[in-house]
Structure 1
Amino acid sequence: MKVYSFPPISNKNSKILILGTMPGITSLELNQYYGHPRNAFWKLLFEIFNEPFSTDYEIRKKMVLKNNVAIWDVLQACVREGSLDSAIEQEIPNDFTNFLNEHPNIDTIVFNGQKAAKFFQKYVKVSKTIQYVNLPSTSPANAGISFDKKLEEWRKFFN
């Protein structure tokens, strides 16, 4: 089945771009980045930015923008059955040239998992002026790493 990513959550003040690979089924159904309730993404960011946790998607989006963070996915579209990155085929990358030109303050790209980094490296010309950081995937499929360990790794970067 062909699936499509969402538009980015970003503004002109964004300095850090967090990239996933492609939204999973639950996220697509909810039309929300990291919509699966077991995905640690939002819980991690609220914790890191010392904000009271909320399940309200509008509050989540405002929180990341307030902290100069943008969210997007490496892929614009792909063929995939289920939610696993390992099932992705016929991928089409997002247009990072235009995105980065429109967001000149972005100086760091954070990959939410190794697969996002691999697809980015496959399709996007790397800029020497941007810092690239690989962090553990927040996906529930990355069950081999505890929430506390994910938080520790993500916090190291953001602090």
Structure 2
Amino acid sequence: MSDQLDMPNRSLHSSIRFVAFSAIAAVVAALAAGSSVALSVPVWAMFVGWVAFFTRGVNARDGAINLACVWLGLAFGVAAALAVGALTPPLGRLALPAVVFAVAIIVVSLRGLPLLNNVLAYFLGLIAFFASHLEPSLESLFHLGGASTLGSSAGWLCVKLQQRLAPHS
């Protein structure tokens, strides 16, 4: 009987925790977006890092691995853009498909690595580079990588803050 009387309190507590989890994510996302603007990095690229953090595991170790794969994906994007530029004169319209094939075979094959095997995060990096329309350069790599690092760090902070609300069992 006591458990039945306590049920409304459990439901209320659960609802409050649900809202608090959501509020933490919203506040951290807003702070990360504001930081992106202050640092003059694209907010959307910050969210690439945020999404990458949550692709596999939600701890610092997995987050760092996911972020490393994003950075490598960005680097593959820079290399691919340079390769397309170099191969367009001899191959014409076939340069892009040839480079995409080469990059895709490499990235998908990396799934066999013991650590840096997050194919989704590699593709997030590639997408971020090509979506940015930046020139293929180290500056572009660090610009987008910095934004992604901010987002991944914000994802980690969000999880750490939400874990403080988790019931201790």
Short-chain TM bin: under 0.3
Q: Which has the higher strand share?
A: 1
Q: TM-score, normalised by structure 2?
A: 0.26
Higher RCO (C-alpha 8 Å, min separation 6): 2
Q: TM-score, normalised by structure 1?
A: 0.27
Highest Rg: 1 or 2?
2
